[in-house]
Amino acid sequence: MNKQNHLMSPDASVCRRCRKYCPKAGCTAESCIWLVSKIANGTVTYRDALMSIQPQPPTFGWKIQELAGTYLGTLWKDLNHLTRFHRLITRLDPPEGIKPSEGRRYFSVLFLCTTSEELCKRTRPCFQATGIDFTQCYTAKMTREHSFILYAAQCLYEHKDEKLIMNLGYSRAVYSQNLRIILHGILIAKYGSAVLKLKGDGGC
């Protein structure tokens, strides 16, 4: 049975029943294989998902609480972001033989690189048949905002999540909207498209 598609009851998906759960350390899994089920039955909210991101710098807690309190029920920046993403993904063929874990990271890079029309145009040459080549990005006169989002996308693709998270925690140059988008990219890299269905604390 495919664990990713099997929907459990809320009671059966309690973390303490998972083999990866440690009473002292909490969840020790790299990513939760039951997340799809937890989202479907409402036992994982947007705030819960953000809090699962590790490691968490000292300044991270209040930032996450602030973002969770203003969550609008979607991971997309706006409708144009969603439109750009679908427009690009229909034109691309992911590299052959790509593993599910790498597929999630490929998906997250697409998510981040389509947050604006300009960034989408600048990064379009990066997506090639063999993978993503960030050296092909047109970076001349790129804004600081786009530069940091591009940096985040490259970190996620190269499995440098911890480095990215620590920089997010201590950087004062990352505005709330950009921080939210990058955290969404981290969640997608970790859990896949299931997180697009995350609801807020109020169920919206």
Q: Where are the alpha helices (DSSP H) in the chain?
A: 35-40, 46-51, 60-69, 79-89, 100-113, 117-123, 144-157, 161-170, 176-191
For the CA atoms of 176, 111, 162, 100, what is the dihedral angle to 10 degrees?
A: 150
Per-residue tens of pLDDT for the chain, all 204 residues: 344 444 444 455 566 677 777 766 556 666 666 766 777 676 778 888 888 787 777 777 788 888 888 888 899 999 999 999 999 988 887 776 667 678 889 999 999 999 999 999 999 999 988 889 999 999 999 998 899 999 999 999 999 988 898 888 766 656 678 889 999 999 999 888 888 888 776 555
Distances (CA, A) of 162 to 117, 123, 146: 28, 23, 20
Q: Which pLDDT score, from 0 to 100, does residue 62 have? A: 80
Q: Which pLDDT score, from 0 to 100, does residue 8 have? A: 47
Q: Which pLDDT score, from 0 to 100, does residue 24 have? A: 63
Domain boundaries of the chain, sorted by first residue? 11-69, 79-195
Taking the C-alpha atoms of residue 90 and residue 88, their distance in angstroms, rounded to an integer, is 5
Q: Which pLDDT score, from 0 to 100, does residue 203 have? A: 54
Q: Which pLDDT score, from 0 to 100, does residue 159 have? A: 92
Taking the C-alpha atoms of residue 85 and residue 130, their distance in angstroms, rounded to an integer, is 20
Q: Torsions phi, psi of 128, nearest 5?
A: -125, 170
Taking the C-alpha atoms of residue 81 and residue 75, their distance in angstroms, rounded to an integer, is 10
Q: Which pLDDT score, from 0 to 100, does residue 7 have? A: 47
In this structure, are residues 22 and 53 in contact, taking their beta carbons and an 8 Å threshold? no
